Chains A and B, each alone.
Chain A
Amino acid sequence: MTRYIRNRLVSAVPVFFGITILVFLMLQVVPGTITDLMGEQGVSSAADKAALEASLGLDRPLPVRYGAWLWDLLRGDLGNSYASGKEVSGLIAQRIGPSLLLTGSGVLLAVLIAVPLGVLSAWKPGSAWDRAAGVLCLVSFGVPGFFLCLVGIFVFSVVLGWLPSQGMYASGVYAGLGDLLHHLILPAGVVCLSGLGDLVRQTRSACLETLGEDYITTARAKGLSEGAVMVRHVLRGSLIPVLTTVLTHIPHIIGGSVVVERVFGWPGMGSLLFSAIFSRDDPVIMGVTVVIALAVLLTNLLLDLIYGLADPRVRYEEG
């Protein structure tokens, strides 16, 4: 097992660097740099632009710039934001908590709703539960997150006045758990609804597949109640695809939800990435990419390890 983890980690290294090279190159392919946004559009002088390029090191050849960035990364330095001048690691540290809270609670809520609903709709196809699951899937897949945000704000903030429409705290700083949760409900609800469809569908189809297995017939023949069959056997047998879907949300949790964070003014990783892209803040884009890439690679490893725990048939070969 240890050897397996070690091998997987070693094989992840070139993938990780491949991702960074790809993103770095993509940023260079896009025309324009932060210097083109300098001053009031179209009025910055060539001298001002040149000074900014020199101060940011943009006048160096591409391989030199990537090499410098990589060298800094290996020393644990993600560089400084072109826009604010602040350390990228500090910016990420400031934003990762709110993202974890928002997307994490949204995904958790989605799991708590989707798994029972998926099991119920598989257990009783055509029932009210099944139809409700179908409607939820339709909304989740068919309605863009941006629109869900606006509908949520209109209904719960403007019409009903129950929930705040923006921000993380009422007065800009932490003022108690109540205030935080009050601000969290609406954006987390949107994140939950956006991810719900995938989870419900996966759970339902995995359960339906398991229900057709011989050992389920055996369990029923032994006289187990339907509830016990569903929970002890069907759900456990369906765990791998469900777990896969849930765990693939981890990078999303860490990376934040760009649309939801942007609309609600939530200070997370998604809104950081959004601003960085529009202001051509390459170090921030690279920094967020590093975090998300690491999250994806570690999630994949975690998934493989959890498969073994969830399904005894999965074994890790030595060597």
Chain B
Amino acid sequence: MKRRILPLLLALALVLGLAACAGPNQEEAAQTVVRCGLSNAWDSLMPYNSPSGSNYSRIIYDKIYDRLAYVHADGTLDPRGADSWESADGGLTALFHLSEKAAFHDGTPVTAQHWADTIALLTDPDCPTLGRGAFSVLAGTDETGAAVEGESLGAQAVDTYTLKLTFKTPTTPEDFLLDKNREYYVLPTHLIGDTPASEVMELELWNAPVGSGPCSFVSEVAGSQIVLAANPDYQLGAPGFDQLVITVMDKSNLLTSLIAGDLDYYAFGGNASVEDAQVARQAGLEVLEGTVPNTFYELMLNNASIPSAEIRRAIGLALDKDALCLQSTQGLGTPTATDLTPGTAYTSPFTWSRDVEQAMELLRQGGYDGRTYKLACTSNRSGLAALMQQNLGEAGIAVEIVTVDSATLFSGMSEGKYDMAIASHTPGALPLWFTASRFTQDNNIFHVSDLAPYTEYISQIQTEQDTAVKQALVERFQELLVSERPFIPLWFGTTLHVQSPTVEGIDYPSSSFCNENVWDWVKQPG
């Protein structure tokens, strides 16, 4: 008996070993697969039911569902679901001429009625959608984006392929797209049928969604891996691959997997730090230097616990933004005095400089009592926080660092538990990309006691059509922000993009803005 076991075990090991060395089967070999890495998981596959609304979810929706336009990193727009657009009614209306070639993955053509029905469904107060706020810019909705009974909703199908959106305030189609494009997707309303709005999110459809994007759904291991197939009939052209496999994995393994040839690309845009870029170059990969800012860092301030504008300004003056920016971006950033994204149409005359003496003087004027402020940050920014603590300490401001996770940081700031917190965002091309959503009664994250001066400027800038007048208003608004200092703009950062050695046609910088031109991607043979 004993003699028989050993050969059996050896045979088993041999079989397993041979199996392990076996190549892919023929069917698999015939498929051209693009393997993509992502460092965080997406959530629901229903784009209007995403609790996080994160970029990790949006980058998946971007593939399955179609949007009206493609937004380049520099703020220029290209047609996507819409071939063209125009402004009408003195800027209150935008007409989108939809692509007549666009179709859902089940073959049904995408019409303006699909778009109008999608918006009607999601603005229905009975529909338990998340992020309905994206529709609050449309006429006939309240401030939460819910349709107001008795009012005409600002989304109508003029004809089969013309969608008319009516806004509450004059808005150019370009400004609307720059602001909202990534939140507007067309749903296959023909498959939703008569389902009551209250039950729409429970449909099985969202487990195997049908969209009209450049890729169709194949399978998913929720939060770990999604397999998509190229949509050969996509109106902008068929992607140059058969399947796109997106896998969630640790950040630390993204670049190594690209170098090892086990990944073709990683989102967003193959972002890399200076050190990683050096490793990539040594491994023979090409690295592209981004020119458009894709991150904006701010120091959030709690205006209730730091009620003196002088003290808030002193904090801004005490910070050595050059050193902080260098520590964080390793030379790929520019310190800023405002939240206006460099390179966009709107500018401000304000510049930044550190002045510890003046900061100390402002502290005296503001009656700083020597109290210790709580500075919250996530663990990856603890070095930055320590540097800030040192900067502020030089001006005599005592700071205690609290390292927490993202959810704790934002809940703590919104509950007023922390005095300041470090946060970063993806910047936008519009002058109010940062401020419009942060100075409202509904979201007063900086705990500003009187929002009126801010909301007044925001409203004026939003409605102003004349570019020169708008620019003047922007400058005056920035002046208010500089004097009141409700938050401290720190810097805008660019990034390095490690280029895929196996896929051509990727628009790397635009990936940071949650859209990827997969229809132009071509997987190279071999």
Contact = CB atoms under 8 A, between A and B. Distances in A.
Nearest to B256: A153
Interface stretch (A62-70, A211-219, A263-271): A263-271
B222 A81 contact: yes
A161 to B, nearest CB: 7
A32 B33 contact: no
Nearest to A176: B25
A280 interface: yes
A121 B310 CA distance: 72
Interface in A102-149: 146, 149
Contacts of A51: 128, 130, 132, 144
Interface string B488-525: 00000000000000000000000000000000000000
Interface stretch (B76-84, B87-95, B410-418): B410-418
A264 B253 contact: yes
B21 to A, nearest CB: 7
Given A42-B413, A48-B130, A262-B249, A171 B243 contact: yes
A84 B247 contact: no
A178 B15 CA distance: 10
A42 B144 contact: no
Given A85-B46, A181-B20, A150 B407 contact: no
Contacts of B261: 161
Interface string B233-252: 00000000001010111101
Interface in B141-163: 143-144
Contact of B256 (A150, A168, A171): A150
Interface stretch (A33-41, A195-203, A293-301): A33-41
B10 interface: no
Contacts of A167: 35, 225, 245, 247, 249, 262
Q: How large is the interface on B (under 10, 10 to 19, 20 to 34, 35 or more residues)?
A: 35 or more
B206 interface: yes
Given A41-B406, A41-B410, A42-B445, A275 B37 contact: no
Nearest to A47: B144
Greatest chain B CB density within 10 A among A31, A55, A168, A278 is at A31
Interface residues of A, number: 67
Given A161-B261, A171-B28, A176-B24, A36 B410 contact: yes
B307 interface: no
Contacts of B243: 171-172
Contacts of A267: 221, 224-225
B257 A48 contact: no
Interface in B3-53: 16, 18-25, 27-28, 31, 33, 35, 37, 40-41, 43-46, 49, 51-53
Given A94-B222, A175-B25, A42 B438 contact: yes
A177 to B, nearest CB: 5
Contacts of B49: 85
Given A37-B406, A48-B131, A166 B262 contact: yes
Greatest chain B CB density within 10 A among A46, A153, A157, A172 is at A172
Nearest to A46: B442
B410 A37 contact: yes
A271 B250 CA distance: 10
Contacts, number: 244
A173 interface: yes
A172 B227 contact: yes
Given A158-B259, A161-B261, A267-B221, A33 B407 contact: yes
A279 interface: yes
A32 B411 contact: yes
B467 interface: no
A36 B406 CA distance: 8
A315 interface: no
B3 to A, nearest CB: 15
Interface string A242-275: 0000000000000000000011110100011001
Interface in B468-497: none
Nearest to A171: B33
Given A44-B53, A95-B224, A165-B257, A181 B19 contact: yes
Contact of B260 (A37, A91, A158): A158
Interface string A166-196: 1110111101111101100100000000000
A43 B404 CA distance: 19
A37 to B, nearest CB: 5
Contact of A278 (B24, B219, B405): B405
A164 interface: yes
Interface of A: 30-48, 51-52, 55, 81-86, 91, 94-95, 146, 149-150, 153-154, 157-158, 161, 164-168, 170-173, 175-179, 181-182, 185, 262-265, 267, 271-272, 275, 278-280
15 contacts: A32-B410, A42-B423, A46-B443, A47-B144, A85-B46, A149-B253, A161-B261, A166-B247, A172-B225, A173-B227, A177-B19, A265-B224, A265-B248, A271-B223, A275-B248
The 4 closest A-B pairs by CB, nearest first: A178-B22, A265-B249, A172-B245, A32-B407
